Amino acid sequence: MCDDEGWWKWVVVVAAFFVQFIICGITYSIGIFHVIFREIYDTDHFDTSWAGSILLYSTALTSVLLRSVMARLGCRLSIMIGGLIACAGLGLGMFVTELYQVYLTFGLLTGIGFGLACTPSIMAVEHYFQNGRFQALSVVVGGIGAGLITFPFIIRALIDQFAFKGVLLILAGVSLNLCVCGMLMRPASKRKEVRLRPLLSCLPLRNPLFHGICIANLFWSFGSTVIYLYLPSYALEKGANFDSASFLISCVGMASFTGRMIFAFMGHNSTLDDLTSSLCSIGFGIVVTGICPLLFSQSTGRIGYTLLFGFYSGYWTTFLSQVSRELIGPEYIAMGNGYLSFMVAIGTLTGGPAAGLLIQEENEFKYTFYLAGACLLWSSVIMMIFKTKKCGEITRSFENEEQKAPLFDSSNGVNVPLEDVSIVMAAI
């Protein structure tokens, strides 16, 4: 930790918290926007789903494709530029008249802006903290849950007062606050030299365990995207009003925040035990997959489902991080973070449209939620198989090669460990 920075390091933490708060609050509200877009443009679920899917996809993919740009600009400037681009994407929603224009503005442009701001906010905290980094990042990641809880209420309240395009304009102003957060993230005057692995090193691809983690990320992002995107629509189809349907997203945020905090501190100093891993990974997955049609006919059942899913998702994010470190170590995660982000991007892009086609074919939401739950369950099964088998001998066989990997990223002069960025990308 850079002691001479004094209290300013906590200003950076608070600023990073609000970056995650704004970005995740808006992106995780795609289910509410899905209902609105579908009503305004009178389109089916397949066509409408691309707006939210492109938003999530471009947010995740930007962290990989534009990483060299972020490195050259620095954390501060990257976040400020990201805020301006996201503001422009949401603000241009005032002028769109066709759904494809929503794809380009709300989806692509806003997603690029959010992607430019998301990862550098974590990196800025890494600059200031060497000791106590876990506690600082726990506060920052808490912004994800806080955004999920808060923004559905905000969006729902604004809809009645300002209509849809007014809401987009207000959210554009909210996104502009990313620039304020970026301005607060002045570079640390001293940085301890640490090793940084390239995000797209080929070395992790030689490890079979890393392939399993990538596949688990793909399944999880596919299934969770389907639930976030279609949860309000399913509730409306079962007779809920728009207020109740929007509230379900906040319920997910409350439970996700609780689960993430509980299991993050349980798993920080020691790996999660096999019993806890099995019960939460497989047990919750089976429950979430099997009971969704039984619960959605009643309002209390719908809330119960969202609380289960939220707690499960909060747990799984921590579980993935802990088991990845247990099996292959933080170096491999840091070196392969780009691949993990790419798998998340593919899952988010394909999940919504694939579920939309299924809804059109079967004319039933329950099959879509069976599909989503099965993907979540399968991602947990994959990770549990690796955790149970341990596969230590496979990992050890790569240790000598790992030592030969480049220790520094030559694309920038800032040496920042990036293994913790995977926590945020898995959540997004």
Domain boundary among 132, 161, 186: 186
CA distance 322 to 318: 6
CA distance 191 to 207: 32
* Residues ≥6 apart with Cβ < 8 Å to 227: 309, 369, 372
| Backbone dihedral region for residue 96 (phi beyond 0: left; psi -120 to 50: alpha; all else: beta) | beta
Contact between 125 and 12 under an 8 Å Cβ cutoff? The reply is: yes
Domain boundary among 120, 151, 186: 186
Q: What is the pLDDT of residue 198?
A: 56
Verify that 122 and 17 share a domain, yes or no.
yes
Q: What is the pLDDT of residue 1?
A: 42
Token pair for residue 36? 């609105």
Token pair for residue 171? 């959210």
Instruction: Name the residue with tokens 């609050």.
Output: 25
Phi, psi of 318 (to 5 degrees): -70, -40
DSSP state of 107: I
Verify that 179 and 210 share a domain, yes or no.
no
Token pair for residue 239? 């007779």
- Amino acid identity of residue 77, one-letter, is L
Contact between 25 and 137 under an 8 Å Cβ cutoff? The reply is: no
Q: How many CB atoms lie within 10 A of CB 300?
A: 8
CA distance 210 to 124: 27
Contact between 78 and 185 under an 8 Å Cβ cutoff? The reply is: no
Verify that 69 and 202 share a domain, yes or no.
no
Judged by DSSP in three states, 204 sits in helix
Token pair for residue 202? 């080929």
Contact between 227 and 309 under an 8 Å Cβ cutoff? The reply is: yes
In 3D, which of 21, 267, 263, 6 has the Cα closest to residue 139?
21
Verify that 69 and 218 share a domain, yes or no.
no
Whether residue 325 is contained in a domain is answered as yes
Token pair for residue 386? 């690796």
Verify that 292 and 158 share a domain, yes or no.
no
Verify that 302 and 370 share a domain, yes or no.
yes
Verify that 80 and 208 share a domain, yes or no.
no
Contact between 254 and 307 under an 8 Å Cβ cutoff? The reply is: yes
Whether residue 313 is contained in a domain is answered as yes
Which CATH number do you get for residue 399?
A: 1.20.1250.20
CA distance 373 to 214: 18
Burial of 397 (0-12, 13-18, 19+ CB in 10 A): exposed
Q: How many CB atoms lie within 10 A of CB 236?
A: 16
Verify that 228 and 166 share a domain, yes or no.
no
- Amino acid identity of residue 137, one-letter, is L
To the nearest 10 degrees (0 to 180), the angle between helices 242-266 and 299-335 is 40
Verify that 329 and 264 share a domain, yes or no.
yes
Contact between 144 and 22 under an 8 Å Cβ cutoff? The reply is: no
Contact between 217 and 355 under an 8 Å Cβ cutoff? The reply is: no
Verify that 166 and 225 share a domain, yes or no.
no
Work out how many domains the chain is built from and give that number: 2
Domain boundary among 141, 157, 186: 186
Domain that holds residue 29: 8-186
Verify that 220 and 282 share a domain, yes or no.
yes
What average pLDDT values come out for the chain (428 residues) when binned by 10 residues?
A: 63 93 94 94 93 94 82 88 96 91 95 92 82 78 89 91 90 95 80 51 79 89 94 92 92 87 62 63 77 82 90 80 72 76 92 94 88 89 76 49 43 42 48
Cα angle: 300, vertex 291, 375; to 5 degrees: 125
Token pair for residue 365? 């939401």
Verify that 156 and 234 share a domain, yes or no.
no
Instruction: Name the residue with tokens 């503005």.
Output: 105
CA distance 193 to 417: 10
In 3D, which of 249, 264, 235, 201 has the Cα closest to residue 426?
264
